[in-house]
A = this chain, B = another copy of it.
């Protein structure tokens, strides 16, 4: 029997644990892992030109595949470049296995240029961090890392692989380890939740996997039976919505609107959701968005068995036979024409989104009204940024497209957001992914203009406004896309947008549409 090195045992262990996609940006210290990909068939390796693309893609992959992808990152700085999207993934409850190369262990004391505290860099954005210390351990370490990544709702696991543990013989493939069972829902909590949901001053607030199609039906039966209202959190990792599905609103982002939307609820049951709070703090505004006397019943957190919680609550409220409230019809809106604005763009989405599409929503200001305006679109999966670090959208689209090769992906991205991880376009082209990207070109960090006012800055001067303006020079999105092999066009009115989107969804491979605002 031939000996295998640590790197090969790692790849084989990952495959045994059903991790078969790797988003990579390797360097010297990862060359044995790269070489192992030649010996071991079955791992789809997707190259990224920037590590934030790799980690964001792994986030999108988890949300759609419900299993972890891996990333391959080069030492501390490579991991550092991926941290912002790991932050977003962590907040979304996405499971990811990061493989981070490290110098050979005896090399560390020499403090070579690329030496850094990799565990320290990993920890703020990881639930699980370990460094393998011998080739014989790599397989077992990797199996535990995948187990950590699979732990509900999904966790970020970072395994650090010193060069010598990769290249030394003696690797041992480890079998898969089951993630811990989330355990049963507390019956006392279930009683309290069922009692709390009674009439329109009670709210069932949903998040995470409470927003699957089946769970929304369960919630809609409970609403029909108890008279409670339904809402989701502002940012949702994935919500199933559109025609034929339960139309459920969101807690608004602006503080005043959120206070208004929540002011009548005295009893709030949480399933996969947390107490509604402000995204940011603002001088003189409250951070908790519900009535001071509101009573919360946290029935199931993100890591609990959310399907069981909703199913149990259906039984407990006697809602099993209730007709679900709020199933939305397909909107029969005509294709829009005239100027481009949030309403006409939303109408173009309703007109063109293909059935079963995946919508990646990072259209910060332009897209704020898309959500209510698209209840009657074709049934789609709708993905939000849950960590607030912009630059998640284009990478997330890559991961979603690779997880679901039979589905079309629509990436709705603000121009400011798109620039953080614009390198993602190249990977879309390389992999021929069916992603139609809309760039909303308002030439500014538009949200910050509002935020200046929100934090109490009246009449900002030219220097402040200049720091939020992206129009000197204007970004040329069609040139940008073409430079990375993505076909592109710029549209100036809603009819052209609708045609371009239709064309994008009908044509294999990626395209980009600059939506001129």
B463 touches A38 (CB 8 A): yes
Question: Chain A: how many interface residues by the 8 Å CB criterion?
Answer: 101
Cα distance, A345 to B87, chains bound together (Å): 42
A388 within 8 A of B: yes
Contact partner of A112 (CB less than 8 A), chosen from B24, B114, B279, is B279
Decide: A31 near B387, CB < 8 A? Known: A235-B113, A420-B49: no
A452 touches B34 (CB 8 A): yes
A180 within 8 A of B: no
Hey, which chain B residues are within 8 Å of A479, CB to CB? 479-480, 482-483
Hey, which chain B residues are within 8 Å of A420, CB to CB? 49-50, 81, 423
Residues A273-317 near B (CB distance < 8 A): 274-275, 277-281, 283, 287-288
A508 within 8 A of B: no
B31 touches A461 (CB 8 A): no
Contact partner of A114 (CB less than 8 A), chosen from B120, B389, B467, is B389
Decide: A77 near B84, CB < 8 A? Known: A279-B113, A280-B29, A457-B32: yes
A466 within 8 A of B: yes
A462 within 8 A of B: yes
A367 within 8 A of B: no
Q: Mark A407-422, 1 if CB is under 8 A from B, else 0.
A: 0000000001001101
A76 within 8 A of B: yes
B50 touches A280 (CB 8 A): no
Residues A200-221 near B (CB distance < 8 A): none
A339 within 8 A of B: no
A485 touches B473 (CB 8 A): yes
Residues A368-404 near B (CB distance < 8 A): 386-389, 391
A112 touches B280 (CB 8 A): yes
Residues A164-195 near B (CB distance < 8 A): 164, 167
B467 touches A163 (CB 8 A): no
Residues A46-72 near B (CB distance < 8 A): 47, 49-50, 52
Smallest CB gap from A387: residue in B? B113
Binds B, one of A103-111, A141-149, A223-231: A103-111
Cα distance, A167 to B456, chains bound together (Å): 9
A156 within 8 A of B: no
Cα distance, A31 to B287, chains bound together (Å): 18
Hey, which chain B residues are within 8 Å of A164, CB to CB? 281, 283
Contact partner of A47 (CB less than 8 A), chosen from B78, B83, B467, is B467
Q: Mark A441-475, 1 if CB is under 8 A from B, else 0.
A: 00000011001101111001111101110101111
A505 within 8 A of B: no
Cα distance, A451 to B30, chains bound together (Å): 10
Closest chain-B Cβ to A233's Cβ sits at a distance in Å of 10
A416 touches B49 (CB 8 A): yes
Hey, which chain B residues are within 8 Å of A27, CB to CB? 448, 451
A45 within 8 A of B: yes
- Residues of chain A touching chain B, judged by Cβ–Cβ distance below 8 Å, are 24, 26-29, 31-32, 34-35, 37-39, 45, 47, 49-50, 52, 75-78, 80-81, 83-84, 87-88, 91, 103-104, 106-107, 110-114, 116-117, 120-121, 123-125, 163-164, 167, 235, 274-275, 277-281, 283, 287-288, 386-389, 391, 416, 419-420, 422-423, 426, 429-430, 447-448, 451-452, 454-457, 460-464, 466-468, 470, 472-480, 482-485
In addition to A114-B388, A473-B484, 18 A-B residue pairs with Cβ atoms within 8 Å of each other are A26-B468, A35-B464, A37-B467, A45-B467, A50-B419, A77-B88, A81-B83, A107-B280, A112-B280, A113-B386, A117-B123, A120-B123, A163-B455, A420-B423, A430-B473, A476-B485, A477-B483, A483-B483
Considering the complex of A and B, which 3 residue pairs feature the smallest CB-CB distances, nearest first?
A473-B485, A38-B461, A77-B389
